[in-house]
Amino acid sequence: MRIVEAARELSDLSYAVKQGGQKVALVPTMGALHEGHRSLIHMAQQHGEFVIVSIFVNRLQFNNEEDFETYPVTLEDDIAICRSSGVSALYMPSSKSMYPESFATSVEVSGLTARFEGASRPGHFSGVTTVVTKLLTASAPDIAIFGQKDFQQFAVLRKLVDDLDIPTEMMMAPTIREEDGLALSSRNVRLSAESRQLAVLISQGLFHSLSLFQSGIRDRQELIEAARQTCIGEIEIDYIAIVDPQTLESVSEAHVGDVLLFAGTIDGIRLIDNIIFCA
């Protein structure tokens, strides 16, 4: 596995690989890798011969300084996971190289970023779209893999790539969960034992709503309330919504393919999750 720190070196590497006839797949991460990230890497390997994983804790997407300061950093373990997973190249740029003092550019996607995470975390998506644009520019991947857990993020980045004619195919990998249903997240390590027990209520609520949908219920409010009642009084709920997967607009009746989004806070730790309604 090759470790790369400079954008120009990554660009040259990607160009050489593609000249040799191989497809390049990118898995962008902020480190603190877990089995969910392994699943992204595995999916990337199914679609590209040369897999690049990036690790960069992007300060621009944190609207809360404490959240940034406490974000878990496990570089040695991350490198070991990438090696054992057969990653071709690991891109680990420094903050100074990504955002030098002269840096004065941001990338914005309007509309899709105005609600949910965008409304609750001002500036978050501008940070995400800016850093992902830089990662895509440096690595020029044929394919980029993102996780379903950050569904709104994926919708925003898909729009970014479409609007800017970036020749990268965007793929979404299913959420990986613990045995009890909790969605894997790098932030889970910050949960106390008691908070960890409460956190599983999120997925229980989502899957209860899914079971009602599969029994024939389509009313938005009834499905939302099914998820809310599981968590109410235990988790500080930010939003629960059922949306169209493309526009992220709320729907009056749920259909196959629509998405139930959830965000809430436990002991100051923000957790998000979602399910896609299926038959």
pLDDT tens digits, 129-164: 999 999 999 999 999 999 999 999 999 999 999 999
Residue type, 222: E
In this predicted model, what pLDDT tens digit does every residue of 161-199 receive, in sequence order? 999 999 999 999 999 999 999 999 999 999 999 999 999
In this predicted model, what pLDDT tens digit does every residue of 88-124 receive, in sequence order? 999 999 999 999 999 999 999 999 999 999 999 999 9
Percentage of the chain beyond pLDDT 70 is: 100
Task: Please name every residue paired with 7 in a beta bridge, in sequence order, or none if there are none.
Answer: none
User: Tell me: domain 186-272, CATH 3.40.50.300, correct?
Assistant: no
| Mean pLDDT score, 73-80 | 97
Residue type, 48: G
pLDDT of residue 74: 96
Spatial contact of 246 and 159, defined as CB atoms under 8 Å apart: no
Domain ranges of the chain: 2-173, 186-272
pLDDT of residue 139: 98
Q: Would you report the helix, strand and coil content of the chain in percent, each value rounded to 5?
A: 45, 20, 35
Spatial contact of 55 and 96, defined as CB atoms under 8 Å apart: no
In this predicted model, what pLDDT tens digit does every residue of 214-264 receive, in sequence order? 999 999 999 999 999 999 889 999 999 999 999 999 999 999 999 999 999
pLDDT of residue 35: 97
Average pLDDT, the chain: 97
Helix (H, G, I), strand (E, B) or coil at 227: helix
In this predicted model, what pLDDT tens digit does every residue of 15-66 receive, in sequence order? 999 999 999 999 999 999 999 999 999 999 999 999 999 999 999 999 989 8
pLDDT of residue 233: 86
pLDDT of residue 21: 98
pLDDT of residue 232: 87
Do 2-173 and 186-272 share a fold? no
pTM over 0.85: yes
Catalytic residues: 37
CATH fold of 2-173? Rossmann fold (3.40.50)
